[in-house]
A and B are shown apart, each in its own frame.
Chain A
Amino acid sequence: GAGVSQTPSNKVTEKGKYVELRCDPISGHTALYWYRQSLGQGPEFLIYFQGTGAADDSGLPNDRFFAVRPEGSVSTLKIQRTERGDSAVYLCASSRTGIGANVLTFGAGSRLTVL
């Protein structure tokens, strides 16, 4: 696609529920990043994929958070047993390798609200 697409744009759920957030990167971008942004804060790194594999998942806060990218394009961030503290905007970004690499193109974000 023309840009990074994230769905849903807004998600309201109840404490304890399971949530999936989807990211569709720019076609051909091999690197994909997930960030979490709370109000008044900068993007907090969660996980980075290079192709299908997670190159760095050190930012995932605990084992309730998991992300996959099975075919090296679309990625899904999964959050189990949601807590009110998980409420934030979840940002996805992608980049290509080679010339122009490391310049991230961001999606519009998925705003998660846990009641």
Chain B
Amino acid sequence: AQRVTQPEKLLSVFKGAPVELKCNYSYSGSPELFWYVQYSRQRLQLLLRHISRESIKGFTADLNKGETSFHLKKPFAQEEDSAMYYCALRDNNNDMRFGAGTRLTVKP
């Protein structure tokens, strides 16, 4: 079965500092990886997906199959980036499983 691990429950950085939220996965097939975000008092929503290879709100994530990782990065964090971030994996049966989440706090 697939598994998604986010080792940090909490991450705090200062505004303008780089940020990296870690995500590791285990899955024997070919996964599709996502990052979802939940801002305060809002619904869980898609941030980005690995197949799109896009930068959203300055965030990027690269799928590293050798290290089975999909870390989320942003070079200069902003206060509005403070939120809960969830890494998710879709398997070949279209099941979508989530990690436990990392709460990012960006301090002024």
Contacts and interface: CB of A to CB of B under 8 A. Distances in A.
Contact of B95 (A43, A45, A91, A103): A45
Nearest to B1: A58
Nearest to B51: A102
Contacts of B86: 42-43
Contact of A42 (B32, B43, B98): B98
Contacts of B74: none
A55 B94 contact: yes
A91 B44 contact: yes
A103 B49 contact: yes
A106 interface: yes
Instruction: Indicate the member of A40, A43, A50, A107 with the most B CB atoms within 10 Å.
Output: A43
Interface in A97-115: 102-109
B100 A102 contact: no
A101 to B, nearest CB: 8
**A interface, size bucket:** 20 to 34
A56 B32 contact: no
A90 interface: no
Nearest to A3: B43
A93 B49 CA distance: 17
A62 interface: no
Interface string A23-57: 00000000101010000111111001010000110
B95 A56 contact: yes
Interface in A52-108: 55-56, 91, 93, 102-108
Interface of B: 6, 9, 32, 34, 36, 43-46, 49, 86, 90, 93-101
Interface of A: 31, 33, 35, 40-45, 48, 50, 55-56, 91, 93, 102-109
20 contacts: A35-B98, A40-B9, A42-B6, A42-B101, A44-B98, A45-B95, A45-B98, A48-B95, A50-B94, A91-B44, A93-B44, A102-B32, A102-B90, A102-B94, A103-B46, A104-B36, A104-B46, A105-B45, A106-B45, A107-B43
